[in-house]
Amino acid sequence: MRFVSMLAITLGALMGPPGPAYALVRIDVDLGSQTMRVATGGGEGYQWPISSGRAGHLTPRGAFRPIALYPMVHSAKYGNAPMPHSIFFYGQYAIHGTTAVGDLGRPASHGCIRLAPANAATLYALVSREGAAIQIGGQLAGGAVSAGHARRRASPMLAYAPDQRARTLKQWAADPLNNR
């Protein structure tokens, strides 16, 4: 009996308490309806209007993972435009907040996916904590299909200059969940 008790204690110690389940935030972007659906591992769900790339500046389609997160970035390519709560997913393409909230619900960007500032902040916090899987698909109005990411030539990331206080990509890669 004593042997069985010791065996049970040893097995319990080796197995340890169950760890937290790792759940990704699922981000599904529909270019046709200009909406984003977000589902978290904790059961939260959101649906927000977006602005994707307009004609001549199409948003890449496909499956992506975040490659960099910055609380504030300014676009050196487009007049130092602010891009709060940026989640870069392919080259210089990002999901970020915008002050042009009147354009949400229709293609209006240079290829990024724009969100209302509060929604971008919510998404940024979720992705910072849990990571994300991003799926972009759908047809634009008029039947145009945005370019697939495999066929696009990636531009250098130098088109965007992160805020001076933002962490570097190397720092983020070493510890993506640490906000500072």
What pLDDT was estimated at residue 146?
45
**Average pLDDT, integer, range 160-168:** 53
Check whether 158 has a pLDDT greater than 60.
no
Cα separation, 15 vs 47, in Å, equals 40
Could you list the residue range(s) of the whole structural domain that residue 129 is in?
22-174
Q: Which tens digit of pLDDT belongs to each residue from 55-70?
A: 999 999 999 999 999 9
What pLDDT was estimated at residue 76?
84
How many structural domains is the chain composed of? 1
Amino acid at 138: G
* Residue 3, in any domain of the structure: no
Share of the chain above pLDDT 70, in %: 67
* Residue 114, in any domain of the structure: yes
Check whether 128 has a pLDDT greater than 60.
yes
* Residue 63, in any domain of the structure: yes
Check whether 13 has a pLDDT greater than 60.
no
* Residue 118, in any domain of the structure: yes
CATH number for 42: 2.40.440.10
Q: Which tens digit of pLDDT belongs to each residue from 67-123?
A: 999 999 998 888 889 999 999 999 999 999 999 999 999 999 999 999 999 999 999
* Residue 2, in any domain of the structure: no
Q: Do the bridges between strand 45-49 and strand 132-137 make them parallel or antiparallel, or are there none, so unpaired? A: unpaired
Q: Do the bridges between strand 160-162 and strand 132-137 make them parallel or antiparallel, or are there none, so unpaired? A: unpaired
Q: Which tens digit of pLDDT belongs to each residue from 38-49?
A: 999 888 999 999
Q: Locate 94 and state its tokens.
A: 């990002």
| 127 or 18, higher pLDDT | 127
User: Are the C-beta atoms of residues 44 and 34 closer than 8 Å to each other?
Assistant: no
Helices and strands in the chain: count of H runs, count of E runs: 3, 10
What pLDDT was estimated at residue 108?
96
* Residue 99, in any domain of the structure: yes
Share of the chain above pLDDT 90, in %: 58
What pLDDT was estimated at residue 175?
73
| 42 or 16, higher pLDDT | 42
* Residue 28, in any domain of the structure: yes
What pLDDT was estimated at residue 159?
46
* Residue 67, in any domain of the structure: yes
Whole-number average pLDDT of the chain: 81
